Chain A
Amino acid sequence: MKDNRLISIKNTLLISLLMFTLWSCKNDDNEIVKRNWELVWQDEFNTPGAPDAAKWTYDIGNGPNNDGWGNAELQSYTNRAENIVIADGKLKITAIKNGNAFTSARIKTQGLFEQGYGRIEASIKLPYGPGIWPAFWMIGNDVNTKGWPQCGEIDIMEGRGQEPNIIHGTVHGPGYSAGAAITASYGLQNARFDTDYHLFAVEWTENCIDFYVDDVLYSRITPEKVTGNWVYDHPFFIILNVAVGGNYVGWPTTSTPFPQTMYVDYVKVYKEVK
């Protein structure tokens, strides 16, 4: 199930640390709209072994163009248990260093579960260390026909291991992708995302994508905020991965501790019930 356009260019705008900015919305950006959510899909990772093949497929290797998935990432993705396994009720994606080579894993729901709108959330404990790039994100299911970034990309959570107290929420679309993507960051004042589980979520409706960390709304993206077409009107699929190195995060250093594991307690998807 390789998709050679399944590439996300994640150079983002430089952003200041510990940003709590709420982007202006039509009325009240700060307003959390209470909605009724109905659980429609989940994986609580309670069955030890490989990920459930009915829910997840793998991306394998260094990317279809052998260019580190379009980002000069260093790792080769595998489906080996040392890189990806379910144990102790968690999905564990582990980046491993072998000399100067790295392996890790990336799984996705493409072709198995795709949805437009709703609440998409995951409880995750992040890996850490310079050059470690964990992500929980989505790509439009028309990526094969329209290409990227026309298909749209919603990065619910991306981390840079050299900043273990900060995560980023981003959208990429036509005219605002890669370094021009629309992004916001959320930082913990005196704690880190790699020492405990945090809930990363987007609440996505027709004209609004709200980014949450632990029920704190830190970014609201609307059609007015994006500098191109609003392409978030069709089903997307979910991706979980840990990359090593790349344009977005920089290279791991000799002081980067390996192996590094991202622990996912659960992924849940809801639909709004009106």
Chain B
Amino acid sequence: MKTLKNKYLNCSLLALMLLVAGCSERDLNDLQQATQYKTTPEVFIDGFPGDLQYAAFGGSDVKAFDVDKEVKYAGIASMKIAVPAVNDPNGAYAGGVYFSTTGRDLSGYNCMTFWAKATKSASIDLIGFGNDLGANKYQVSLSGVAVNTNWKKFYIPIPDPSKLKMEKGMFFYSEGPENEEGYTFWIDEVKFENLGTIAHPQPQILGGVDKTTSAFNNIKITIDGLSETFNLPNGINQTVNVSPAFFEFNSSDPAVATVSETGVVSVIGGGNTVITAKMGDVDAVGSLNISSGGDFIHAPTPTLEASRVISLFSDAYTNVPVDYFNGYWQPYQTTKSADFEVNDDHVLNYTNFNFVGNGFSNPTVNASAMSHIHFDLFVPKGITGGQLKITVRDFGADGADGGNDDTNQTQTFTSLTTNAWNSLNIPIKSMAKRTKIGLIVYEIVGTSLTNFYLDNIYFYNDGSIIPAVPTVAAPNPTQPAANVLSIFSDAYTNVAGTDLNPGWGQATVVTQPTIAGNKTLLYTGLNYQGIQLAGSLNVSGKTYLHLDYYTANSSTLNVYLISTGPKEKGFALTVPSSANWTSVNIPLTTFSGVVNLSDVIQLKFDGNGNIYLDNIYFY
């Protein structure tokens, strides 16, 4: 089903689609009267009064509307709307506006009425008035208008007629295919009336529900679910959608929050306020009780590089897909969500908390390269002694919750600090499986923690897990090129003629894979491996040998300088490397007792494992 399509209208489209539907012969006298806002009630009886024009909605079949002189409820003609079928090249739906070019004073009427029938039983998405192709300030509509093959009278009451002193939006409709099929409906005798048989108006905001939310300064909340119920002449209640301008909104404490004419609440101070509304003299059912904590304390901004993080919920990282942050598990879950955004920071808020889950199984998360999961949790004022149990679940081979192959990692946090962000970290390295994690469950321990905020939910690697393949490039060298004699680096001009894989009988396989856009040197299955320089290299004027290395699985790794003789001296490198490469600057004095630094001809590595190397240079 569509939503209100006219949201997508733009002016240029409209200008193109403007079709004059009414007679437009007007003399000066008519124009003068027009400025006094006529009270004409007729919209369509057997044709359109002279001030009316038709415009089709963007994306709709512009020819859906026609005047029909064969089928009519009364008089000589009706409005015929031909709803297209799915995939109709002329448009996806039928929709348009009949608007008064001059505006009318409708304050003397309390209801729009019309008759309708259709070629089959159908539910018309939307019919109403107050769409003026502009701000649509006073818009009223009926959703799901149930038509059938018999003519039936419909009523769309005006919530507060006194506001419609210069209304241009006389009638609009929007309807898509029914079960993918097109059909036709007719509308006739469209007019505004003043009916004493419409009774018991009851406006509603927030769907007529009394809601509670916590908030902070700078949070904006839109009061939605605006409607009004009327009892029709047949004794049946009917609810129409009503735009915000009909309501008068009120905040019981404007120092805590203000509310605009359009029903947007701006929280500006700490404390409690209740947002209510009136329609004329009638109190609307429904309210929003806001408990504001004043200035929001933001969660600490994460500092880990994105490459070490798989984020589920954080404004600091790109988050992976999450199916839900509240599974609303029936029948025992009481937890509601009151998530909010303050200063562009999105925060999860669980209220009336007993337990709740975050699901992310499309796809599940492979956390094999992650050592922990992190949460920032804020305990609001007034809650003390809050305790929380968190379970992280791997779905196992079936990739689905249950099936006797799940693995849980659980931790209970018993000393949460009130009115502060608590940084919670659960180690997951010991989980038997963590390649298909799909669920996090939060459970209350005790009864205190009925409300809390969550931010920055992410898996991370504290550095203790080194992926087999680096996820980032080696660090960019910072030495000025003039100081450098480079053997292997994209950052410098390397000395020419070097053989990176001389045949010394080694088992090592040498390749040069690209890691994060940067060419690196990879020794796979190292036993030993040489680097043959083109000739004798004099590094006696240099101080250090620099190299960046990365290995997840080496237990022994040495680097050697070799001068003619051969004379060689090794230096043991710490392995494995860090998860983000290890950079070393080895003083050349390490080698100078044995190796002639003015005559270096080869470098050599020995040890085991797979070794990534980059930025091998003297400086």
Residues of chain B with a CB closer than 8 A to A194's CB: 199-200, 231
Binds B, one of A2-10, A37-45, A206-214, A250-258: A250-258
Least CB distance, A63 to chain B, in whole angstroms: 25
Binds B, one of A147-155, A161-169, A173-181: A161-169
Residues of chain A with a CB closer than 8 A to B199's CB: 128, 164, 192, 194-195
Binds A, one of B234-242, B352-360, B365-373, B427-435: B234-242
Give per-residue flags for A230-274: 1 if the beta carbon is below 8 A from chain B beta carbons, else 0.
000000000000000000000001011100000000000000000
- Asked if B197 lies at the interface with its beta carbon under 8 angstroms from chain A, I say yes
Instruction: State whether A191 touches B196 (Cβ < 8 A).
Output: yes
- Asked if A68 lies at the interface with its beta carbon under 8 angstroms from chain B, I say no
Name the one of A130, A189, A192 contacting B236, with C-beta atoms under 8 angstroms: A130
Residues of chain A with a CB closer than 8 A to B194's CB: 190
Instruction: State whether B231 touches A257 (Cβ < 8 A).
Output: yes
Measured CA separation A270–B135 after assembly (Å): 61
- Asked if B233 lies at the interface with its beta carbon under 8 angstroms from chain A, I say yes
- Asked if B195 lies at the interface with its beta carbon under 8 angstroms from chain A, I say yes
Interface size class of B (residues with CB under 8 A): 10 to 19
- Asked if A132 lies at the interface with its beta carbon under 8 angstroms from chain B, I say yes
Given A190-B196, A190-B197, A192-B197, 16 new contacts (CB under 8 A): A128-B199, A129-B236, A161-B235, A162-B236, A163-B234, A164-B197, A164-B233, A164-B235, A165-B233, A189-B196, A194-B199, A255-B237, A256-B235, A256-B236, A257-B231, A257-B237
User: Can you name 25 A-B residue pairings with CB atoms under 8 Å?
Assistant: A128-B200, A128-B235, A129-B231, A129-B235, A130-B236, A132-B235, A161-B235, A162-B234, A162-B236, A163-B234, A163-B235, A164-B197, A164-B199, A164-B235, A165-B196, A165-B233, A189-B196, A190-B194, A192-B197, A253-B236, A255-B236, A255-B238, A256-B235, A256-B236, A257-B231
Query: Closest 7 CB pairs between A and B?
Result: A190-B196, A191-B196, A255-B236, A162-B235, A161-B235, A129-B235, A195-B199
Residues of chain B with a CB closer than 8 A to A128's CB: 199-200, 231, 235
Chain B 325-339 interface residues, beta-carbon cutoff 8 Å to A: none
Chain A 181-205 interface residues, beta-carbon cutoff 8 Å to B: 188-192, 194-195
Residues of chain A with a CB closer than 8 A to B196's CB: 165, 188-192
Residues of chain A with a CB closer than 8 A to B200's CB: 128, 194-195, 257
Chain B 220-258 interface residues, beta-carbon cutoff 8 Å to A: 231, 233-238
Measured CA separation A165–B200 after assembly (Å): 14
Contacts A128-B231, A164-B231; is A190 near B237 (CB within 8 Å)?
Answer: no
Residues of chain A with a CB closer than 8 A to B236's CB: 129-130, 162, 253, 255-256
Q: How many residues of A contact B (CB 8 A)?
A: 20
Least CB distance, B166 to chain A, in whole angstroms: 26
Residue of B with least CB distance to A161: B235
Measured CA separation A195–B235 after assembly (Å): 12
Question: Residues of B with Cβ closer than 8 Å to A?
Answer: 194-197, 199-200, 231, 233-238
Residue of A with least CB distance to B198: A192
Question: Residues of A with Cβ closer than 8 Å to B?
Answer: 128-130, 132, 161-165, 188-192, 194-195, 253, 255-257
Residues of chain B with a CB closer than 8 A to A188's CB: 196
Measured CA separation A55–B238 after assembly (Å): 40
Least CB distance, B556 to chain A, in whole angstroms: 78
Contacts A128-B200, A195-B200; is A190 near B235 (CB within 8 Å)?
Answer: no
- Residue in B195, B196, B236, B237 whose Cβ sees the most chain A Cβ within 10 Å: B236
Residues of chain A with a CB closer than 8 A to B231's CB: 128-129, 164, 194, 257
Residues of chain A with a CB closer than 8 A to B233's CB: 164-165, 192
Residues of chain B with a CB closer than 8 A to A256's CB: 235-236
Residues of chain A with a CB closer than 8 A to B237's CB: 129, 255, 257
Residue of B with least CB distance to A188: B196
Residues of chain B with a CB closer than 8 A to A253's CB: 236
Measured CA separation A190–B198 after assembly (Å): 9
Least CB distance, B347 to chain A, in whole angstroms: 40
Residues of chain B with a CB closer than 8 A to A162's CB: 234-236
Residues of chain B with a CB closer than 8 A to A255's CB: 236-238
Residue of B with least CB distance to A129: B235
Residues of chain B with a CB closer than 8 A to A189's CB: 196
Least CB distance, A202 to chain B, in whole angstroms: 25
Residues of chain B with a CB closer than 8 A to A129's CB: 231, 235-237
Measured CA separation A266–B551 after assembly (Å): 96
Least CB distance, A256 to chain B, in whole angstroms: 7
Least CB distance, A123 to chain B, in whole angstroms: 18
Residues of chain A with a CB closer than 8 A to B234's CB: 130, 162-163
Residues of chain A with a CB closer than 8 A to B197's CB: 164-165, 190-192
Measured CA separation A162–B235 after assembly (Å): 5
Residue of B with least CB distance to A191: B196
Residue of B with least CB distance to A255: B236
Residues of chain A with a CB closer than 8 A to B195's CB: 190
Measured CA separation A164–B237 after assembly (Å): 12
Least CB distance, A189 to chain B, in whole angstroms: 8
Residues of chain B with a CB closer than 8 A to A130's CB: 234-236
Least CB distance, B357 to chain A, in whole angstroms: 33
Residue of B with least CB distance to A196: B199
Measured CA separation A94–B194 after assembly (Å): 30
Measured CA separation A165–B198 after assembly (Å): 10
Least CB distance, B346 to chain A, in whole angstroms: 40
Measured CA separation A192–B196 after assembly (Å): 7
Measured CA separation A21–B196 after assembly (Å): 22
Measured CA separation A53–B231 after assembly (Å): 36
- Residue in A132, A188, A190, A256 whose Cβ sees the most chain B Cβ within 10 Å: A190
Residues of chain B with a CB closer than 8 A to A192's CB: 196-197, 199, 233
- Residue in B200, B235, B238 whose Cβ sees the most chain A Cβ within 10 Å: B235
Least CB distance, B37 to chain A, in whole angstroms: 24
Measured CA separation A194–B195 after assembly (Å): 14
Least CB distance, B233 to chain A, in whole angstroms: 7
Measured CA separation A130–B504 after assembly (Å): 99
Residues of chain B with a CB closer than 8 A to A195's CB: 199-200
Measured CA separation A195–B200 after assembly (Å): 7
Measured CA separation A253–B194 after assembly (Å): 27
Measured CA separation A255–B146 after assembly (Å): 14
Least CB distance, A198 to chain B, in whole angstroms: 13
Least CB distance, A142 to chain B, in whole angstroms: 36
Residue of B with least CB distance to A164: B235
Measured CA separation A191–B198 after assembly (Å): 8
Residue of A with least CB distance to B231: A128
Measured CA separation A176–B65 after assembly (Å): 55
Residues of chain B with a CB closer than 8 A to A257's CB: 200, 231, 237
Residue of A with least CB distance to B202: A257
Least CB distance, B240 to chain A, in whole angstroms: 14
Least CB distance, B529 to chain A, in whole angstroms: 82
